[in-house]
Structure 1
Amino acid sequence: MAPSYARVHSGDDRRRGSQLEQRWEYFMKKFWAAVWVGFALSVAKFVDLWNVVAHDHVSGRPEHRLHRGYFKLGLFCFAMWTVVAAYLVVWVKSILKVEEEWEEYAPKSIPFATCLGLVGIISFIISFWPVWGFLSLPIVFILFMGMLHLAHFVPL
């Protein structure tokens, strides 16, 4: 019989492989989060978001004004969404050290945050529509994804 050249993996080899896979997954999550944040910052700079928010319009086009009421509603919803997220992540998981899932411990918080997010995104789209028109949809989506992925870099 010919000798078998198949290598038998020990438990240490499997653990090292598993750790390497976990590190690779962690790196890839951070990498794609950084890509989304960078993309959102680039879009914000390209569409002159800071000038639109500060002066209600893009420079050179004062007739296309930001709708302030919907913008304030979007900011309020985003702030409340952030408060709910901070409650679940910081207070419930880190301070109270609750082992249950969020859905079991605070069952109304996820639907509430979802409603806040939807109302906020729709409000931002309506507020930016006079400035960018149909492009408000992808612009708000990209900015939202950038803000969402910014949470990957909060040290908790």
Structure 2
Amino acid sequence: MASSVPRERKKYASVELKPLSAGADYDDEEEYKSKTDQWLAYILAKLHALLWIVIASFICAYTEIYEVILDGHPPHDEKRQLNRFSFNVGLAGFGGWCLVAGYLILWVKYILKFPGEWEDYSPRAIPVATICAVSSLVAFTVAFWPVWTWLTIPTIFCLFLGALNLAHFVPL
């Protein structure tokens, strides 16, 4: 039994370990993307973004969200009222998120042409944007809950992803 242990060790001693980071001698494990693969990945990302926008547009039409926002209730049921205060808090949070995104994308990246990462120039911007986005999602959920009940959470989620993916088609 003692003689089988060294043989086991010899069998495993020939295993070659490769580094996790991609170095200069990192051979065929790393994927090489040709121009065609890069274009296909680009088109797939745009189609994915377009899918979320189409889903959000369909939800807007199906739920009659414009009438709900303008009138405060669905056209066919006046008893289900939109919570206006929570809706306004949600708009403020979404507006804050858009302002931080505009600041980081337009001001820092294109006007100042800061060469580093956003976190290096403005380390508090991403946490502020996250707080604004989460607070707006919670406020919109509270605002639309009397109108759509349990469908509010997936509806708000899809609408938020549709609005977020609109940035794919902004020509910058």
Higher relative contact order (CA 8 A, sep 6+): 1
SS at structure 1 position matched to 2:113: coil
Question: What is the CA–CA distance in structure 2 between the aligned matches of 1:90 and 1:21, rounded to whole Å?
Answer: 29
Q: Which runs of 5+ in 1 are unaligned?
A: 1-14
Residue 116 of structure 1: which of 129, 132, 139 is its match?
A: 132
Taking only the aligned residue pairs, the percentage that are identical comes to 39
Q: Could you tell me which amino acid in structure 2 is paired with residue 27 of structure 1?
A: I
SS at structure 1 position matched to 2:34: helix
Partner of 1:145: 161
TM-score (norm 2): 0.80
Q: Which runs of 5+ in 2 are unaligned?
A: 1-31
Q: Could you tell me which amino acid in structure 2 is paired with residue 48 of structure 1?
A: E
Partner of 1:11: none
**RMSD of aligned C-alpha atoms?**
1.3
Partner of 1:3: none
Question: What is the CA–CA distance in structure 1 between the aligned matches of 2:128 and 2:46, rounded to whole Å?
Answer: 27
The structure having more radius of gyration, on CA atoms, is: 2
Q: Could you tell me which amino acid in structure 1 is paired with residue 50 of structure 2?
A: A
Q: Could you tell me which amino acid in structure 1 is paired with residue 69 of structure 2?
A: V
Q: Matches of residues 1-156 of structure 1 in structure 2 within 5 Å?
A: 18-156=34-172
Structure 1 stretches of 4+ with a deviation exceeding 6 A read none
Once the two structures are TM-superposed, the CA of residue 60 in structure 1 deviates from its matched residue by 1.7
SS at structure 2 position matched to 1:84: helix
SS at structure 2 position matched to 1:98: coil
TM-score (norm 1): 0.88
